[in-house]
Structure 1
Amino acid sequence: MDYLEFKIKCLEEFREILIAELSEIGFDSFLETEEGIDAYTLAGDFDRSAFDEVISQYSDAAQIELSEGKMEKINWNAEWEKNYDPIAVDELVYVRASFHPSQPGFKHEIVINPKMSFGTGHHATTFQMLRHQGTIDHQGKRVLDVGSGTGILAIMAHLLGARQIEAFDIDDWCVDNGNENFDLNGVKTRMGLGTIREVNPKGPFDIILANINKNVLLDEMKIYSDLLVDQGYLLLSGFYTHDVEDLEKLANQLGLKLITQQSKDNWAALVLQKK
Structure 2
Amino acid sequence: MEYLEFKISCTEPFREILIAELSEVGFDSFLETDEGIDAYIQEDLIDREAYQEIIDRYKEAGKIEVQEGKMPKVNWNEEWEKHYDPIFVGDQVYVRASFHEPRPEFKYEIHINPKMSFGTGHHATTFLMLSHQLTLDHSGKRILDIGAGTGILAIMAHKLGALEIEAFDIDEWCVENGNENFDLNGMSKVRMGKGTVREVNPQGEFDIVLANINKNVLLDEMEVYSGLVKKGGKLLLSGFYEHDIVDIQNRASSFGLTLLEQKTKDNWAALILEKK
TM-score tier, shorter chain, comes to 0.7 to 0.9
Note the C-alpha offset of 1:8. Answer: 1.8
**Residue in 1 that maps onto 2:52:** 48
Q: Number of residues paired by the alignment? A: 266
Query: Is 1:178 matched up with 2:174?
Result: no
TM-score by length of 1: 0.88
Q: 1:3 to 1:199 in 2, by over 3 A?
A: farther
Using the TM superposition, name which of 88-97 and 67-76 deviates more: 67-76
Question: Equivalences for 1:61-72 in 2 at 5 Å?
Answer: 65-68=65-68
Give the distance between the partners of 1:274 and 1:4, measured in 2 at CA. Answer: 46
SS at match of 1:221: helix
Unmatched 5+ stretches in structure 1: none
Shift of 1:115: 0.8
Question: Are 2:258 and 1:257 equivalent residues in the alignment?
Answer: yes
The alignment partner of 1:137 has SS state of coil
Write the letter of the residue equivalent to 1:122.
H
- Superposed, which structure 2 residues align to 1:133-144 within 5 Å? 133-144=133-144
Partner of 1:207: 208
CA distance in 1, matches of 2:3, 2:215: 23
Correspondence 1:1-275 to 2 at 5 A: 5-9=5-9, 14=11, 16-22=12-18, 25=21, 27=23, 30-39=30-39, 46=50, 48-59=52-63, 65-68=65-68, 76-187=76-187, 188-275=189-276
**Quick one: structure 1 residues 58 and 250, their matched pair in 2 at CA, closer, same or farther if it must change by over 3 Å?**
closer
Q: 1:78 to 1:273 in 2, by over 3 A?
A: same
Q: Using the alignment, how far apart are the partners of 2:69 and 2:201 within structure 1?
A: 36
Q: Output the CA distance in 2 between the equivalents of 1:68 and 1:141.
A: 48
In structure 2, how many angstroms separate the alpha carbons of the residues matched to 1:72 and 1:257? 51
Inter-CA distance 245–25: structure 2 relative to 1 (3 Å threshold) = farther
* C-alpha displacement of 1:78: 1.9
Structure-2 separation of matches of 1:203 and 1:73? 44
The alignment's C-alpha RMSD in Å is 2.6
Whole-Å Cα distance in 2 between the matches of residues 100 and 168 of structure 1? 27
Alpha-carbon distance in structure 2 between the residues aligned to 1:225 and 1:139: 22
Q: How does the TM-score come out when normalised to structure 2?
A: 0.87
Structure 1's 267 and 43: CA in aligned 2 closer, same or farther, altered over 3 A?
farther
> CA 1:53–1:3 in 2, change beyond 3 Å: closer, same or farther?
farther
Deviation at 1:77, TM superposition (A): 1.8
Name the amino acid aligned to 1:228: V
Q: Which runs of 5+ in 2 are unaligned?
A: none
2:77 aligned partner, one-letter code: N
Report how far residue 33 of structure 1 moved: 2.6
Shift of 1:4: 7.2
SS in 1 for 2:237: strand
